[in-house]
Chains A and B, each alone.
Chain A
Amino acid sequence: MTAISDREKLSYIAAQAADARLNLELETEGMTLNLGPQHPATHGTLRIIAKLDGEQVISAEPVMGYMHRGYEKLAEVRTYPQVTALVNRIDWVGSFANEVPFILAAEKLMEVEAPPRAQWIRTTLFEMSRVANISLFLGDMALQLGATTPAFFAFRDREHVLNQIEAVTGGRFHPNFDRIGGLKDDLPAGWITETKRAMRKMRQFCEEMEQLVLGNEIFAARSRGIGVIPADIGLSYGLSGANIRSSGVDWDSRRDNPCGLVHSELDWKVWTHPDGDSFARFWVRLQEVRESTKMIDQLLDGLPSGPIMAKVPRIIKVPAGEAYVETENPLGVMGYYVISKGDLVPYRVKIRSASFSNISITPWLLQGVYVPDIITILASLYFILGDIDR
């Protein structure tokens, strides 16, 4: 893992500057290119209006809202378990992770704590959703850059994880398994062994990706030095998750702010990278997937026995108050600010979704880059439309 050399950085900047000078001398007219909403590169209906000068971007502005479903308004007329089902669909690739902060906020307001077994299983499923989500990213970023094959390997190997999630929750993509006070059901027989096997396969997949994609010189040439985000600017834009960790910021909510999940009882490592470019973001996520598979193994080994559900009333009325819980979701830091007035339904739920803040940096980041680099940068920032649009 070598940082890009200063010479490479300078040569890229020099090339951009030369192009800009040439465009100025030739007095070329800019062209407005519309990427999307239907486009193979954007993961869903994101539209980017890019003003180009030749192949250089003068300004790029994302237009979103094609998938805005009005979650915050809907949450005001739904009971807490119904909001849980609704919230699954924000980040639909790693969807168990969406439920967790909401349930934790509601549990905080009710002053109820899930029994240890439920907490451990919750953490296991949380990490599995991370593995499912980020393995998609690993295949997808290679696909955006032109290599079609790693994407197929990613989908093939994700199936193992999704099958395991389905075995316990009944849903591959929308588990809807978390409940206030615990979980809906206990694990089926034989699940632990199967999941460990699935995690072994995921580790093999990570090695494959490392050799096939990270080790590829073309991939490195396309992603090193592209889309460098300095740490302080990233923080002030609200970048989170692997995006900010690959700029060198050592911040992980699982370690620093564990509330409700049991990451503090595991032996694991937070991965950071100093460069802050697209290559670093890919690298950090790859290491995180591997780390998650090891965490899942530890979790399954240390699973305590006991009840799955704390004593909560059948009809859940959450006492008045406000609570904010944020967790380290696969896409970044996701938080729910739940304001309750002691009713069956929340009074106001503010959903802090990770991709919304991650993409807010693109107008600043995409200035002056080449058109292919727009794709590289967007692919490396990794967003899910449901997370941006809520």
Chain B
Amino acid sequence: MSSTDTPTDSEEEAAVDHARNDLVARLTAHLGEGFIESHLVAGDDLCVRVSRDSWVGAAEFTKTGLGFGYFSFLSGIDWMPSPFGRDMDAQVDLQLDGSDDSPSADEGDTDHSTIDSGVAGGDTRFQVFARLNDVVNGLGITFKVDIPDNDLSVPSWVGVYPGANWHERECWEMYGIEFTGHPGLRHLYLPGEFEGNPLRKDYPLLARRMKPWPGIVDVEQMPDDDAPTADPAEAGDNNGGEE
């Protein structure tokens, strides 16, 4: 977002902040203990983590009480770092990993042993997240819920948003998360007898198992300057790998 007009922007930001802060307040009031954590980026976005028991209640309140009638999507996240590594084990990548080119070398988490959840926290390996929109005011909310490892299930949203039907089917087949109360959990994309849950991190991407990653090709040492107009950043922008 451009910040050329600071007074209007901060006014606007404050105004939008208001709207989102108001949402957080009302959700906290309604859900009480079900409301675990929230992450608000002023003027931009809002992410709320709720408990599994109040998953459906949060949806209902958001739809009827807060006016968020639009169902955008629902899917899952697997926070376990992939046991296969990043599948990018070519020499050149290990070089790049340790290089000083990246400005965020110290922010990036290259330790692949712990489960590190994103914004609005999280305690478990699996999370289900969904996005709702308010078309009148142009706001959006992302809801997240933790799924305990020993009981991979969460109540279904189909009663509140019928559009969740297919999204939950996809999440079920890709992650193996049960949606209790769903009218018919069956495969959406995958053929009927498919075994396994492809989007889990421990499900291998066979293409990479069979043929190792050749590395980012064509990274040559450029002559002196990195002037963007003369030389747009070309790292890996040619499709060097297989699709």
Contacts and interface: CB of A to CB of B under 8 A. Distances in A.
Q: A and B: direct contact (Cβ < 8 Å)?
A: yes
Interface of A: 64-65, 68, 70, 72-74, 76-79, 81-82, 84-86, 113, 176, 179-185, 232-233, 235-238, 240, 249, 251, 256-257, 259, 307-324, 326, 333, 335, 337, 339, 341-345, 348, 350, 352, 356-357, 360-361, 364, 389
A357 B1 contact: no
Secondary structure of the A contact surface, majority rule:
loop
B170 to A, nearest CB: 8
Contact of A360 (B45, B142, B165): B165
14 contacts: A74-B205, A85-B239, A182-B232, A236-B70, A237-B163, A257-B140, A313-B101, A313-B103, A313-B226, A314-B233, A315-B102, A324-B131, A324-B142, A326-B72
B234 to A, nearest CB: 7
Contacts of A316: 233, 235-236
Contacts, number: 206
Given A238-B73, A313-B233, A350-B75, A345 B88 contact: yes
Given A313-B101, A315-B235, A335-B72, A321 B110 contact: no
Given A73-B199, A323-B45, 20 more contacts: A65-B191, A74-B243, A77-B88, A82-B239, A113-B2, A179-B232, A185-B232, A237-B162, A238-B72, A257-B140, A316-B236, A319-B104, A320-B104, A321-B119, A324-B140, A337-B142, A342-B110, A344-B96, A350-B129, A352-B131
A314 B241 contact: no
A251 B104 CA distance: 37
Nearest to A119: B2
A324 B73 CA distance: 12
B29 interface: no
How many B residues touch the partner, as a band?
35 or more
Contacts of B69: 232, 235-236
Given A182-B228, A352-B73, A341 B116 contact: yes
A99 to B, nearest CB: 12
A88 B116 CA distance: 30
Contacts of A313: 101-103, 226, 233, 235
B88 A344 contact: yes
B107 A237 contact: no
A357 B77 contact: no
Nearest to A68: B189
Given A185-B232, A309-B228, A344-B96, A314 B101 contact: yes
Nearest to B70: A235
Contacts of A364: 162
B72 A320 contact: no
B39 to A, nearest CB: 8
Contacts of B99: 315
A85 B99 CA distance: 25
B240 interface: yes
B140 A307 contact: no
Can you list the 8 inter-chain pairs with the closest CB atoms, starting with the nearest?
A: A342-B108, A256-B138, A65-B189, A317-B102, A237-B163, A251-B135, A319-B104, A238-B163
A240 to B, nearest CB: 8
B239 A343 contact: no
Contacts of A184: 232, 237
Nearest to B169: A360
Given A79-B236, A341-B108, A315 B165 contact: no
B33 interface: no
Contacts of A307: 228-229
Given A314-B226, A345-B88, A357 B163 contact: yes
A237 B71 contact: yes
B17 to A, nearest CB: 16
A233 B86 CA distance: 42
Contacts of B61: none
A315 B72 contact: no
B210 interface: no
A322 B161 contact: no
B103 A343 contact: no
Nearest to A364: B162
B71 A342 contact: no
B222 interface: yes
Nearest to A339: B118
Nearest to B95: A315
B72 A352 contact: yes
Given A236-B69, A389-B189, A311 B228 contact: yes
A310 B226 CA distance: 11
A233 B70 CA distance: 9
B108 A81 contact: no
Given A313-B102, A315-B96, A321 B235 contact: no
A82 B131 contact: no
Nearest to B142: A324
A312 B233 contact: yes
A24 B237 CA distance: 62
A83 to B, nearest CB: 10
B234 A314 contact: yes
B36 interface: no
A315 B72 CA distance: 33
A301 B205 CA distance: 47
Most A CB within 10 A of own CB, among B110, B199, B228 = B228
Contact of A236 (B2, B163, B190, B237): B163
A183 B107 CA distance: 26
Contacts of B167: 360
Contact of A333 (B72, B162, B222): B72
A101 B110 CA distance: 26
Interface in B1-16: 1-2
B208 A77 contact: yes
B237 A235 contact: no
A339 B77 contact: yes
B241 to A, nearest CB: 6
